[in-house]
């Protein structure tokens, strides 16, 4: 429990000051001494309450009357000075060591890609040579099997199509939601 002095002024034709001691309980969960809106409105004069509500209603009406204004964008045009080559940042000169290391790195990379392409080409040529050799041996064994091996088997293909990809336009077709509005200039056909 806390005790505090409370000074009250009473005006009964004469000015008197009363000194009282008030007890404040500290056993509640919230120690905040802020009163809720309901408690404030209960002890308030009804005319004052009505004035507060009227002010709030007027504010809401003003806010609903004024439409949301869009913020104008004024920086959609770029200055010509910004596009001129004079404003471009100059490159810092590189040292000779960095330039030589970059050149060597580019050469190593080009050698690597050349070797990869060469190995892939060799593998493909090797595969085609083995396939041709196998087909020649198959032809020597049986020409009918050779022809069957060369014919394509459509059942093993994984191609699947559900309807045409491109079709001709339907004549006299009406669009379901409105029509086409041409944006071309009026003299474009001439």
DSSP notation for 103-143: HHHHHHHHHHHHHHHHHHHHHHHHHHHHHHHHHHHHHHH-H
111, with CB counted inside 10 A (0-12, 13-18, 19+), is exposed
Average of per-residue pLDDT values in the chain: 76
Name 21's Cβ contacts closer than 8 Å, sequence gap at least 6: 3, 4, 5, 6
Mean pLDDT of 143-167: 78
Task: Flag whether 29 is in a domain.
Answer: no
The confidence score (pLDDT) of residue 135 equals: 93
Same domain, 56 and 99: no
What's the rounded Cα separation, in Å, for the pair 134 and 145?
A: 12
Task: Flag whether 26 is in a domain.
Answer: no
In three-state secondary structure terms, 66 is: coil
> What's the CA dihedral at 178, 182, 186, 190 to 10 degrees?
-120
Task: Flag whether 87 is in a domain.
Answer: no
**Which range scores top for mean pLDDT: 7-21, 33-47, 103-117?**
103-117
The count of domains in the chain is 2
Task: Flag whether 84 is in a domain.
Answer: no
The confidence score (pLDDT) of residue 65 equals: 79
pLDDT greater at residue 20 or residue 182: 182
**What is the reported pTM?**
0.34
Enclosing domain of residue 51:
36-66
The confidence score (pLDDT) of residue 178 equals: 61
Contact 24, 1 (CB under 8 A): yes
What's the rounded Cα separation, in Å, for the pair 82 and 48?
A: 61
Name 139's Cβ contacts closer than 8 Å, sequence gap at least 6: 146
Same domain, 101 and 55: no
32-70 confidence digits (pLDDT tens): 556 556 666 667 788 888 998 899 999 888 888 777 777
Task: Flag whether 119 is in a domain.
Answer: yes
176-190 confidence digits (pLDDT tens): 776 667 777 666 555
Task: Flag whether 159 is in a domain.
Answer: no
Task: Flag whether 105 is in a domain.
Answer: yes
pLDDT greater at residue 79 or residue 36: 79
Task: Flag whether 58 is in a domain.
Answer: yes
The confidence score (pLDDT) of residue 119 equals: 97
Mean pLDDT of 97-119: 97
């Amino acid at each position: 429990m806390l005790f505090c002095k409370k000074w009250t002024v009473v005006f009964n034709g004469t000015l008197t000051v009363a000194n009282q001691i008030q007890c404040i309980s500290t056993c509640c969960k919230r120690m905040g001494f802020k009163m809720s809106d309901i408690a404030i409105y209960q002890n308030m004069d009804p005319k004052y309450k009505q004035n507060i509500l009227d002010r709030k209603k007027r504010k809401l009406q003003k806010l609903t009357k004024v439409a949301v204004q869009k913020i104008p964008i004024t920086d959609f045009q770029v200055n010509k000075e910004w596009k001129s080559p004079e404003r471009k940042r100059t490159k810092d000169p590189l040292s000779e060591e960095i330039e030589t290391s970059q050149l060597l790195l580019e050469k190593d990379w080009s050698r690597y890609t050349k070797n990869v392409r060469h190995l892939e080409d060799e593998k493909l040529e090797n595969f085609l040579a083995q396939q041709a050799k196998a087909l020649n041996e198959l032809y020597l064994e049986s020409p009918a099997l050779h022809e069957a091996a060369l014919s394509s088997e459509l059942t093993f293909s994984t191609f699947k199509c559900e309807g045409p990809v491109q079709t001709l336009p339907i004549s006299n077709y009406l669009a379901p939601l409105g029509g086409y509005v041409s944006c071309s200039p009026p003299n474009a056909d001439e």
